[in-house]
Amino acid sequence: MLAQPSAAALNHVLAQNSWAGPRLLRFAGKTVRFHIAPFSFAYIVLSDGSLQATDSKASADAVLNIAPSLLPRLLVQDEQAHAGVASQGDAALLAEIFYLSRNLRWDAAEDLSRVTGDIAAERVVQFMQNAHGQVGDSALHLSQAAAEYWTEESPLLAKPDQVAAFSASVDTLRDDVARLALRVKRLSDK
């Protein structure tokens, strides 16, 4: 149900980034499957570098399992989110998919300009980018304030130096117990 519209959207973004299609040409005929619970999408790379939705149950040359919680982070190009994607199959095809996911850009202003005109589209996109930046900054400041509150005002979280001191104490205790066990063994052997 969603495979055809998602293929159309991906092909639209590929067309906006003219460099991307030629990169996919060498993988013509290969199939990629994306599992994003509860959905599964499969695409075959066509001879012109575009994608076509195919049966998601068929065997694939490359498979990517993406946790739904990673999607927002992937959409905002969070580099650490890529590490959370489980993948298997054709290594060259997977490398190309990851490269494209990091470098493809949707030209929203171009699409919006067809409806609103160029100037209005640019202003709307600029407004959205500014809002996105402010939301990100606000989230960062909120998380820093919460961390400070939970470590200083109402200790719920341990500070890194406290954790390090505790770990060192546990290591010392472990070593002391090992030495005591050796002494007891020596005394019991005598």
Residues 98, 114, single domain; the answer is: no
- Whether residue 96 contacts residue 24, with contact meaning beta carbons closer than 8 Å, is answered with yes
CA atoms within 13 A of residue 142's CA, in its CB half-sphere: 6
Residues 124, 60, single domain; the answer is: no
The pTM (predicted TM-score) of the whole model is 0.58
The mean pLDDT value for 28-37 works out to 90
Residues 36, 95, single domain; the answer is: yes
- Whether residue 43 contacts residue 7, with contact meaning beta carbons closer than 8 Å, is answered with yes
pLDDT for 3-25, tens place per residue? 788 888 888 888 888 888 889 99
CA atoms within 13 A of residue 165's CA, in its CB half-sphere: 5
Domain that holds residue 132: 108-157
Rounded to whole angstroms, how far apart are CA atoms 123 and 30? 40
Residues 96, 148, single domain; the answer is: no
Of 103, 119, 138, the last residue of a domain is 103
Characterise 62 by phi-psi region: left (phi > 0), alpha (psi -120 to 50), beta (else).
Answer: beta
Cross-strand pairs, 43: 32, 53
The mean pLDDT value for 60-75 works out to 86
pLDDT value for 31? 93
Residues 64, 35, single domain; the answer is: yes
pLDDT for 125-177, tens place per residue? 677 777 767 776 787 778 778 777 777 777 777 778 888 899 999 999 999 99
- From the list 130, 128, 78, the residue with the least C-alpha distance to 101 is 78
Rounded to whole angstroms, how far apart are CA atoms 57 and 183? 64
Is the pLDDT assigned to residue 111 strictly greater than 70? Answer: no
Residues 27, 61, single domain; the answer is: yes
Say what percent of the chain tops pLDDT 70: 95
Give 71's pLDDT tier (boundaries 50, 70, 90): confident
